[in-house]
Structure 1
Amino acid sequence: MFLHLFLLYAITSSLAASSCNNNHDFPIPYPFGSYNYSKIPLTCSNANQLLIKGYRVLNITPDHILINLPASCNRPVTEFQQLVTQNYAPTRRNSLLLDSCNNTFNHCVVSPSLIKGHFNLPKCKTMNRSLSCYSVYDDVSDTMEFMNLNELEKVGCRDLYSSITIDLDGRTVSMGFQSVELGWWVPGECGCHRKAVCKNVWMDNARVGYRCHCIDGYDGDGFVDGDGCRRVSNCNASKYMSGECGGTTRVAVLVAGIIIGALLVSAIALICYCIRKRTNLRKQTSAKRLLSEATGSLNVPFYPYKEISRATNGFSEKQRLGIGAYGTVYAGKLSNNEWVAIKKIRHKETHGINQVMNEIKLLSSVSHPNLVRLLGYCIDKGEQILVYEFMPNGTLSQHLQRERGNGLSWKIRLTIATETAQAIAYLHSAMNPPIYHRDIKSSNILLDYDYRSKVADFGLSRLGMLDESHVSTAPQGTPGYVDPQYHQNFHLSDKSDVYSFGVVLVEIITALKVVDLSRRNSEVNLAALAVNKIGKGRVDEIIDPFLELNRDAWTTSSIHKVAELAFRCLAFNGDVRPSMTEVADELEQIRVSGWGPVDNYIRKDKDSSPVTVQDGWSSEQSSPSTSSLLSNIVQ
């Protein structure tokens, strides 16, 4: 009877907590609930928002609560102290934006322009003064979880504008503007499931409670009074025979079942093989017809397989540019002496044909000077091939990492950033439905003869033509560039592209690798490193030394402005990131503010072309080696 009552309580508590019109996209775990007798009570606002202590709940994890702290000119610092309760308190990963302080301190410095540009505060009396930023991240050991509010009181600040939550764990960066991270716990002695580990929570050198975490192989909230820990389903035959999965241990019954099952599976497999063979034959004969129907109205040239093979010398290894998840790219020279990039699709099943048709439709529908152009396709001899324009100066990544050339000037980098942003903004705003790239990175930004940027690989096989409700559980993006919110809700949007582009802006400023295990733990992830330095006003510490050679006042000022823009793009909450249109407009304003003599860093002869893939280029160009040039045109 008690068990039934408890289950009824747990279910109704969970349903009630999520009754705010489902106005949240995260689960409500034990010990949270909407009843006063819940361990950690939640409430529902008149606007159907989930609240705790009157603040909107943005997310709940097994260790933390993320709440919204809207920017305000006249919020007393004492209001922050109410967030210290018997169940939760602000963690040390919060950086508080303060004003009217009696003492000065140098934990971190945030420029007024960054606050004005991002928080869009009303006109405050003290906005012309420098705001103070209080943080304890660098001043304590990793074992300290919570902020020391006693130290905050000593600072003697009157007003609290807002907070920025920064999580630098060396692998990901979690940053949220106008948010506060709370660490939570359950008071008392450990009440964890037998398959869970009890983690004691300490604050001010005193134990305040505990949390529960299921051990590897088990899932759940880990609490005895919650849903405990459930074994992750991974049963195999041996475990079934031993009874570990709840199955019978009668070997005879199992063997008989296996024999019958094997015969049945064999019969089904034979039938499926015959059907598949007949279907594949039919699809092979109709593939070209399907492509012709799909592309007939789009005026996409068709290239015979014989011409493609001749252009690549029979898909010679010497002309291979790169290998990706969807195919291999080769450099090719067509009969009209035009150099092209030829992508040979790896997948040839039904999904592969539909994928190629969709990609052709997408690429044929866009027209922007900073997007790589599709020149044609080939569906012949059982192959699926796409032909793109050839980009002789490789990728932005190669130049930043000094794999090609001797380095790019700041004006060229800023122009590349502006053009790239304009191309992505075009995909987001000018197309209907919008196109989300979903893999923005410096190796997907190609450079032509004059170092103009061309964005490649937009759309890929999934096209990125998503509505707001689309959820994808398939791995997306590249480590170091992926929107941190994607790991929580598997949702990619236009703001996911904004985050990735923010990482590219940091690359342009620093010329550092996006992920570098040789850096110290908190700086392995470039975004984490940049957020830490930019947020503390220490941009000069991470500027590429190459840019110091000709650095003037405008260069310094514009680098700092781009760094602040990158900082806003890297916000954890996608809703507070700027749109790509706003990013492009701001970069253009920064760029035109420094118009002057044009950099003398372009090729000498636009009509020159390679005799082979590896030689024949002018002296100022790096050779389009098969190991690097256009190596990232595929995924």
Structure 2
Amino acid sequence: MDPNNSFAFRKLLSIYNCIFLFTYLATQTVSQHPKFKSCEPKNCGAGPNISYPFWLPQEQESFCGYPNFMLNCSDKGAVLAISNDVYIIKNISYANNSLLVANAAVYEESCPTPLHNINLDRTPFTISPGYTNISFFYNCTSKPKDNYSLYNLSCATNSTHYSFVGFHLEEIEMRSNYSLNSCHDFANAPIHTCEDIGSLLGENYREVLKMGFLMNWTAHNCSTCERSGGRCGFENNEFICFCRDRPRPKSCDAGTSLNVGRKVAIGLGASIGTLVIMLIAFFFWYRRKKRQYESIFSRSIKSVPSSKAHTEKRSSYNGAHLFSYEELEEATNNFDKTRELGDGGFGTVYYGKLPDGLEVAVKRLYENNYKRLEQFLNEVDILTPLRHQNLVLLHGCTSRDSRELLLVYQYIPNGTLADHLHGERAMPGALPWSTRMNIAVETACALAFLHASDIVHRDVKTSNILLDNNFCVKVADFGLSRLFPTDVTHVSTAPQGTPGYVDPEYHQCYQLTDKSDVYSFGVVLIELISSMPAVDISRHRHEINLSTMAINKIQSNSLNELVDPSLGFESDYAARKMIRAVAELAFQCLQNAKELRPSMEKVLEILKEIQSRDYNAEKAVDINSPSDDVGLLKSGPIPPSPDTVTVTWISTSSTPHASV
């Protein structure tokens, strides 16, 4: 190990030991009684806090609440079971002993209607004043002649039986001379009484029921215990106050509260001391690393008199041509705002023209700091030795002694793939499927080349895929890239990247592999198919992330709803076959577990095979075949990997710029 790195490692290890010791002592100082700890308020996701008299069996012990107040967590939040129905907890007011609930049945997709009357007998709950019942009638052999305050339930009605909803059972029978005995089932549901409830019900009874209704409960008052610093519970059929040191009948006494306060103060002091030590240690580590990087950079650049631009231009850093600041300032017309091409993750990009007529894109990095220098070095180190027809070319950079750190790239005139799919250059039909297929192949080729060179891009997205006038690909923006060793499987890093493209496994364990690029490329493939952005908050909340939306569409055999209509999916046989195959490949790339994703080399191989297939011959075979195999997604789920691995899905993402 390098002596400097070894020294830094030993220092960091010492700091970690100190932090651990302080944290352990602070924890021991403010030790808590197990039952006090067990009854800490919990919640189900973003829902209300759950505490006495309620309790969650998955998170808390039964003594934290009353037996009849048990709640459960579901995908819709906390729920309460009453009789044969389940009610979603929308809000809890512990001050007023009330909770707002809605019948979970009305959230069902097929026919959202309550099936039973709410029965609060032998429960601690009552419905608050100000609510009235609406009645649901099911499977009636006839319907009332007078439709006063009646609304049809089309989802529960067929050619022989009727279902409807309305107010006031007695009034329905009296006004319409109608016998409710003709209905097989009926159920009442409480709703809030307001002037326009009738019109609301007619427009959308489901939304009216989703508003819920208020219930009150009866239980032992908890305020005295809570004010004394305790947590309420119910054990051995009696109320009990769990204090930090031990359980008590009603409240935690003053002596204990004082003792606990003293302990908390000691623990807080220890925590603040730990924080100060961490900040001091980080400050010295930061300064040392900054000097180390500056020293490395200085030694790597030949000694150049900064006042002589022609001498600086003849110099180089790691093979990259060194430009003078003045030369690039002139090329960009003093970094004129009208020449801005876009904002990258670490700087603004400008159009420039050198004295010899060469058009360039000049990236001007943001504020001068250690992180900026690190990204500058990273991009130069990675791009300088790389030469590939689908990677943007780095012409050079300025020296560290220059007024600003600038990177000079080849200028790509036709914008980014994002511009053409859903940006300012997007036009229906302007980017046919054959062109999109070629873009996919060339992008995969560039990424496979990077991975073969032990480089992970880390920020693959359509705004980093540049297009020339012939729509040939140039992959750009290596500010986040990292060289990864060949003898390890991952490199731990801080979370970086662009929302909508980031490997979900990377967010969970902060482990970086080449499969992170594969996941991001899967999102790019879906963008090519759909012409939709990776993230769009105007879409339905379950479809804000394009990857989630695509997975749902593919798994439900609804690919046609995802495809850009201008691609001829319904009319062009070859396009339809290729789009289906690319969607299958994207599905494989978007697997949550990185082990189930193909390598970039395999992705490239599959894309080339899809592109080169003779679809005219296949079409002739399909016409003569009794079954059309183009129904790949309609006949069953797509195999989620090249080896047709069966996967159980678990639902679980820099700013774009125009040139580099």
Instruction: Report the TM-score when normalising by structure 1.
Output: 0.50
Instruction: Report the TM-score when normalising by structure 2.
Output: 0.48
Q: Name which one, 1 or 2, has greater alpha-carbon Rg.
A: 2
Structure number having the greater helix percentage = 2
The higher-RCO structure (CA 8 Å, 6+ apart) is: 1
